[in-house]
Amino acid sequence: MPDWGAHLSEMRQRAPLVHNITNYVAMNVMANVLLAAGASPAMVHAVEEAAEFTPLAGALTINIGTPSGPWVAAMEASAQAAQAAGLPWVLDPVAVGATAFRREIGARLLALGPAAIRGNASEILALSGAAAQGKGADSADPVAAAEEAARALACSTGAVVAVTGPVDYVTDGARGWRVANGHPAMPRVTALGCSLTGLVGAFLAGAEDRATATVAALAYFGLAGERAGETAAGPGSFQVALLDALATITPDALTAGARVQAA
């Protein structure tokens, strides 16, 4: 059994500053998820400063959930700054298939060398150019339907691709994993997928193996969801308990609780 908890332990030791350009709905939750996990979040989106700020961080994440012209300019400038500095950056292509604007943004960002891409099945299908069903932020396709597209996307871009859902699928093109951790209440709380993208960024900061670091981030978040589900009485108390669990889970608990299989 691989030592998934080692990734959590290393992340907490590095306590990386993670630069996030994310959507308005997710900002607060994502910051709290990163703080609870042991990382340090920074939200910086102005084109006047975004690219200057990026190299101060250990990783960058970009989420297109509520895009606009000026923000897209900052996204591109920061992604280029991350590339230039050798920093990993993570792409979260929210609802990328929904409009022409998002499809164009997705394509432009994809060309800037993300280290990892995290989305639901509909988003990964749409980003890879395949037909997808999703309209909003929710997926209308099962994870399994996007596995082939995920592998192709990983091969063509060099990124780790994570398709999240009831059972997540992660691939770097050559290797693959399924992560079964999680809880059915998670889609009933907004911005948890977006927040997970921030965690992937935190785990990638300084990681040697980006694929297993991504798997560890997903297992950790899913395990926190399982813990939260044990006590929550609904989506409100679930979100509270999730943040508590993220802060409480130890590396040993993650190693013991991760439900990961090679695929």
Binding residues for ATP: 118, 164
Do the Cβ atoms of 15 and 39 come closer than 8 Å? yes
| Tokens describing residue 238 | 């679930």
Which segments are annotated as binding site for substrate? 43, 191
* Whole-number Å distance between alpha carbons of 112 and 127: 14
Out of 62, 126, 154, 191, the residue judged to bind its own copies by CB under 8 A: 191
Among 108-116, 132-140, 175-183, 202-210, the segment contacting its own copies (CB under 8 A): 132-140
Short-list 169, 154, 72, CA closest to 113: 154
* Whole-number Å distance between alpha carbons of 122 and 66: 17
Min dist CB 225 to its own copies, Å, is 13
Q: Of 30 and 216, which has the nearer Cβ to its own copies?
A: 30
Q: Does 35 contact its own copies by CB under 8 A?
A: yes
Out of 14, 229, 244, 259, the residue judged to bind its own copies by CB under 8 A: 244
Instruction: Say which amino acid occupies 110.
Output: L
* Whole-number Å distance between alpha carbons of 108 and 96: 12
The beta-strand segments (E) located in the chain are: 17-21, 40-43, 59-63, 89-92, 116-119, 160-163, 168-171, 176-179, 260-262
> Which residues are within 8 A (CB) of 140 and not within 5 positions of it... i.e. 6 or more apart?
122, 132, 133, 134
Q: Which of residues 69-128 bind its own copies (CB under 8 A)?
A: 69-70, 95, 98-102
Out of 63, 171, 239, 255, the residue judged to bind its own copies by CB under 8 A: 239
Q: Does 62 contact its own copies by CB under 8 A?
A: no
* Whole-number Å distance between alpha carbons of 168 and 218: 8
At 139 the three-state DSSP class reads coil
Among 4-12, 116-124, 189-197, 202-210, the segment contacting its own copies (CB under 8 A): 189-197
Among 117-125, 133-141, 150-158, 163-171, the segment contacting its own copies (CB under 8 A): 133-141
Q: Does 252 contact its own copies by CB under 8 A?
A: no
Out of 44, 90, 96, 153, the residue judged to bind its own copies by CB under 8 A: 44
Binding site for its own copies (CB under 8 A): 17, 23-29, 31-32, 35-36, 40-46, 48-49, 52-53, 56-57, 65-70, 95, 98-102, 135-138, 187-191, 232-237, 239-248
